[in-house]
């Protein structure tokens, strides 16, 4: 979806968006300090700081693929080149995430690469142990504990099938990821004081934090705009996720940088909540309270393949 209905959108674009540049410097600095100086005093604290820096780096990577902090795509990619969480190639994240921004296909088990729903016919054929895992994964506790490994296995399995089928673009994405991982591993072996096992724990925690953000960003709904959530949290998690918790604002205006999203939301709050039919949470504490051990959604898509189906053209942004 393109930037629509934002008269001052051009004002957000500049040669370099300094809030994003400064956040990049702070993130790399925090990660470097955590793996060296902090690790000498407290491995536990170093793990926590590394995990936070890894999650923040992923949020900045999301900004980069949407055209920030510069207008040069290659430079943006270079700025997030070191793969702090190591497991997701930048080019694959870029391709799958931009495909996810085809809002008419949001939550579609096949057309939305970030959907957590399954086709009901696929669900029916799964063995019971896999159904149990997926049901657990649809609670917040399960998503935080199991989500990183389940998501990574599914992601890599899909890409492996594409590579075996001869998709050179996917293969290139993984091959170009190798030097980005080598840089991080070199640092951990040659410079860092943090044990490799502790670094591995921090990577998993980073991915777990990101699963908190994505846990309820989208829901199955017949109307396109009603599929995307708002979490009004402006505290710690709002900064960690670079305001991507204001998710329908981002989907309606994907070219707007992270630091401008709150202003847009404040100015047109009723419009966004009307657009997504009130799919809103006030804070992440509310999400923990409601969904820690209670699934928000079923695993099989409740509309996919039904008589009504998913309305892939309803409620386009005005």
Q: Tell me the pLDDT of the chain (318 aa) as tens digits.
A: 444 444 444 444 455 699 999 999 999 999 999 999 999 999 999 999 999 999 999 999 999 999 999 999 999 999 999 999 999 999 999 999 999 999 999 999 999 999 999 999 999 999 999 999 999 999 999 999 999 999 999 999 999 999 999 999 999 999 999 999 999 999 999 999 999 999 999 999 999 999 999 999 999 999 999 999 999 998 999 999 999 999 999 999 999 999 999 999 999 999 999 999 999 999 999 999 999 999 989 999 999 764 444 444 333 333
**Can you give the pLDDT at residue 311?**
44
Pairing of strands 280-281, 230-231: parallel
The answer to whether residue 115 is domain-embedded is yes
The answer to whether residue 104 is domain-embedded is yes
The answer to whether residue 97 is domain-embedded is yes
**Can you give the pLDDT at residue 316?**
31
CA dihedral 69, 70, 74, 79 (to 10 degrees): -40
CB–CB of 265/246 below 8 Å?
yes
The answer to whether residue 176 is domain-embedded is yes
Residue 189 is part of which domain span?
10-220
Reduced to 3 states (helix: H, G, I; strand: E, B; else coil), residue 176 is coil
The answer to whether residue 294 is domain-embedded is no
Q: Given its phi and psi angles, is residue 86 left (phi above 0), alpha (psi -120 to 50 degrees) or beta?
A: left
The answer to whether residue 178 is domain-embedded is yes
The answer to whether residue 277 is domain-embedded is no
Contacts of 234 (CB under 8 A, 6+ apart): 262
If one counts the domains in the chain, the total is 1
Q: What is the DSSP string of 80-123?
A: T-S-TT-SS-HHHHHHHHHHHT-GGGTT-TTT-TT---B-HHHH
The answer to whether residue 112 is domain-embedded is yes
């Amino acid at each position: 979806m393109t930037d629509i209905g934002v008269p001052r959108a051009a004002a957000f674009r500049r040669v370099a968006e300094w809030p994003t540049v400064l956040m990049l410097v702070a993130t790399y600095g925090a990660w470097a300090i955590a793996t060296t100086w902090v690790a000498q005093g407290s491995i536990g604290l170093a793990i926590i700081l590394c995990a936070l820096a890894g999650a923040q780096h992923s949020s900045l990577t999301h900004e980069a693929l949407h055209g920030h902090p510069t207008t040069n795509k290659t430079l943006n990619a270079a700025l997030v080149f070191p793969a702090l969480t190591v497991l997701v190639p930048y080019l694959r994240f870029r391709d799958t995430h931009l495909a996810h921004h085809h809002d008419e296909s949001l939550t579609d088990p096949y057309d939305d690469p970030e959907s957590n729903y399954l086709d009901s016919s696929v669900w029916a054929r799964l063995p019971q142990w896999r159904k149990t895992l997926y049901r657990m994964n649809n609670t917040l506790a399960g998503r935080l504990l199991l989500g990183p490994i389940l998501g990574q296995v599914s992601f890599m399995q899909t890409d492996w099938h594409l590579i075996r089928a001869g998709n050179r673009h996917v293969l290139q994405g993984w091959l170009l990821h190798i030097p980005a991982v080598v840089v991080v591993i070199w640092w951990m072996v040659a410079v860092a004081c943090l044990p490799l096992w502790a670094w591995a724990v921090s990577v998993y925690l980073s991915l777990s934090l990101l699963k908190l953000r994505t846990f309820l960003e989208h829901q199955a709904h017949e109307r396109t705009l009603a599929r995307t959530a708002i979490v009004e949290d402006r505290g710690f998690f709002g900064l960690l996720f670079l305001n991507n918790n204001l998710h329908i604002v981002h989907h309606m205006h994907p070219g707007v940088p992270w630091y401008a999203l709150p202003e847009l939301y404040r100015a047109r709050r009723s419009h966004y909540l009307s657009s997504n039919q009130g799919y809103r949470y006030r804070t992440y504490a509310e999400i923990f309270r409601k969904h820690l051990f209670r699934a928000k959604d079923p695993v099989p898509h409740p509309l996919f393949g039904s008589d009504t189906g998913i309305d892939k053209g309803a409620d386009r942004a005005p």
